[in-house]
Amino acid sequence: MNYLRSLFLLEVATFAFGASLCCTEEGDSAPLLGYKLNILEGVLISVTDARASILDLRDGEALAGIQERAFAECANVRELLLSDNHIAQRLKERHFLGLVRLKKLIINNSSVRGVEPGAFAASSELEELHLAENRIPNIRENTFRGVPHLLHLDVSRNVIRQIDDGAFDGLGELKELYLRGNRIRSIGALTFRGLQNLQWLHLGENEIARIEERAFGALSKLGGIYLAFNSISAVPENVFVDIPCLTDLYLAYNKLTHLRRESFTGVGSLKYLDIGNNLIGAIDKDAFIGLSNLRTLRLSGNRISTIHVNLSAEAVDLLQNQQMPIVSQDSFRGLYNLKTLLLARNQISVLPYAAFKELRGLKYLDLSENQLHTIKRCALNGIEQYIQINLSGNDVTTVEPLRC
């Protein structure tokens, strides 16, 4: 009886999809036949007569699983869309056998529980892989073996805690990697081994507290790193060295309290640095030395209260011995080409003489929502050009000549 019932379910769950329209490589329009799905109790058994280039299985049938070799007759498929299903299983290579021309695979929000090493090797031409919003707990060594042409990989919003050394081996052409919204706590020196062409790395919204030295050293073409919304309490020593193309670095919403001398050594190409919404109250002399190409520095939402001027070495030692956080004129030394400085939502009460004398090219200064009441004489000395200042949200009662 159960056997007959299964046959009946198999029969009624076989659907034929009609003709669709797509563009050829030459730009002409040509009709393609569709495909047939064989589904048994929510499990995709097979796809037959698959002549279409796009196979869209997004949540229409609420798939509960994929049988091995289900796509064995799908040699023409270039895009496979499997999002919004309930595929509560680990993905294996045999699940995707037959998809030899696949370029894009999207399995977002489908309850996937893991990925076996080499799971996508049957699709050696794959260029885009989206696995966001699943239940993947780790990325093991050689997980992406066999897809050397992958350009875009998104495993955001899973439950990833562990990334093995060699997890991304074989992805030498990868350009974008998204790991945001996981539970990653540390980044090892070999975590991103082999990603020599990576240009964008998104690690935001994790639990990262530790990054080993030269963790990004192999990423010689990396242009941007997003590390906001983590638990980083100090800029790790030598962590950003040997990244000659890095232009954008996001470290906002972490737990930084103190920027030490030469915190950003090795990233002289940096143009945008966001360290806003931390707990920064102290910035050492020459903390930004070497960042001569920086155009925008965001320090909003920190705990900077005083910008000291003309401090002697003895005065610095005295303040440090008293555990007083120090930010001085010399904290900004080396930022010759800085155009925008964002200091909103700090605790600055007085803008002193020549506070930003090192920032001669500054054009926009945001001091909004501080505790400013006094702008001292010659406060903008050293800044050579016209400058726009935002003082909204303060209660300024005394403004002396800004330049002299």
Question: Of 212, 272, 204, which Cα lies nearest the Cα of 238?
Answer: 212
Q: Is 307 exposed, middle or buried (0-12, 13-18, 19+ CB in 10 A)?
A: buried
Is residue 274 within 8 A of residue 249, CB to CB? The reply is yes
Give the pLDDT confidence of 86-108 residue by residue, as tens digits. Answer: 998 999 999 999 999 999 999 99
Domain that holds residue 389: 260-404
**251 occurs within a structural domain:** no
> Would you state the pLDDT for residue 322?
53
Eight-state DSSP code of residue 379: T
Distance CA 253, CA 277 (A): 5
- What's the chain's average pLDDT? 88
Dihedrals phi, psi of 105, to nearest 5 degrees: -130, 120
Tell me whether residue 281 is in a domain. Answer: yes
Q: What is the pLDDT of residues 159-172, one digit of tens each?
A: 999 999 999 999 99
Residue 381 lies in a domain: yes
What gap in Å lies between CA 212 and CA 241, rounded to an integer? 12
Expressed in angstroms, the distance from the first to the final Cα of the chain is 97
Three-state secondary-structure class, residue 81 = strand
Q: Kindly state whether residue 22 falls inside one of the protein's structural domains.
A: yes
Out of 84, 114, 129, a domain closes at 129
pLDDT of residue 389: 94
**With bands split at pLDDT 50, 70 and 90, how would you rate the model's confidence at 238?**
confident
Among 110, 129, 148, the domain boundary falls at 129
Mark which of 70, 103, 129 sits at the end of a domain: 129
CATH number at residue 396: 3.80.10.10
Q: Which of residues 325 and 306 earns the better pLDDT score?
A: 306
> Would you say residue 223 lies in a domain?
no
**What does the pLDDT read at residue 242?**
83
Work out the pLDDT band at 30, boundaries 50, 70, 90.
very low
Tokens linked to 207: 């639990």
Element holding 10 (H helix, E strand): helix 2-12
CA 359 to chain centre: 30
The DSSP secondary-structure symbol of 374 reads E
Asked, for residue 144, whether it belongs to a domain, the answer is no
Radius of gyration, alpha carbons of the chain: 28
Distance CA 206, CA 29 (A): 45
- Look up the pTM and report it: 0.88
- Domain contains 48: yes
CA distances from 263 to 79, 207, 267, 302 (A): 44, 21, 10, 17
Lowest-confidence pick of 13-17, 55-59, 128-132, 214-218: 13-17
Residue 51 lies in a domain: yes
State the total domains in the chain: 2
Q: Comparing 286 with 402, which gets the higher pLDDT?
A: 286
